[in-house]
Amino acid sequence: MGEFDGKVVFITGIARGQGRNHALRFAREGAAIIGIDVAKPVSEYITYEQATEEDFRETVRLVEEAGGKIVARIADVRDSAALRAAVDEGVAQFGRLDVVVANAGICSWSRFWEMPDEQFEELVDINLTGVFKTLKAAAPAMIEAGNGGSIIVVSSVAGLKAMPGQAHYGAAKFGLVGITQAAAKELGEFNIRVNSIHPYGVKTPMGTDQGSLKMFERFPAWLPNFAPILTEKPIADPDDTSDAVLFLASDRAKTITGSQMALDQGNSKV
């Protein structure tokens, strides 16, 4: 018996990293997965390796190997029609939708006055507007199912505390707090909870981006902004984030909505 037997979970950004880990953890607990990923490079400003179709297919293989059922489609969170189609297909196959994990996002670096307009705009379009479109595509199916449910928005410590070199990222991640709280208030009457999580660094291609080290070499005065309080494990494992996601998705968190959960090794308090 798994904690999520009979439940259906929609996850964005499943090709690798945190999204893949969330999909695997839910599948091992008995959930069926609806998953999407763009599965290709989306920005010339990103300095870490971007996801591929091979990564996407590997996630599907791993979920199925774990005994999970999955409807996986290549789709961009900026494309409302593609998001709705993926949700509709998954609900048609699995019969319901219980949990949403709005995980897809990108990160890049620049001082704000040197940042090309395109760099700012594309990140906000993916990290903020993409979450709005994800929730917009999923909420009607959750309401129609009539089972309540949980939405987890993946923000960042940068959504609690602005970071140098990331004005665009902070703007998007702070914006997710507003979306989270507004959605929680609008969906409360349907017993659908909405919360955001705020990780610090995670051992994923994005979380270990070597491009950030080059920025710190150029601007060492920035370093104190990134210091954690808990120094024994300054970079989290994907499972650390998934632990929080599964908790917020579960009945153990039935009294929590409209909240921001810091998973940041104390960095937001430095």
Q: At 194, give phi and psi (nearest 5°).
A: -135, 120
200 noted as active-site residue: no
**Buried b / exposed e along 51-84 (16+ C-beta atoms within 10 A):** beeebbeebbebbeeeebbbbbbebbbbbbebbb
Q: Which of 45, 48, 169, 200 is catalytic?
A: 169
Burial of residue 252 (CB within 10 Å: 0-12, 13-18, 19+) is: exposed
Helices (H) and strands (E) counted in the chain, each on its own, are 8, 7
Q: Which two tokens stand for residue 32?
A: 């069926």
- Which candidate, 199, 192, 172, 190, places its Cα nearest to that of 257? 192
Q: How far apart are CA 4 and CA 159, in angstroms?
A: 29
Q: Measured over all CA atoms, what is the biggest interatomic distance in the chain, rounded to whole angstroms? A: 54
Q: At what angle do helices 130-145 and 167-187 cross, to 10 degrees?
A: 20
Catalytic residue ranges: 169
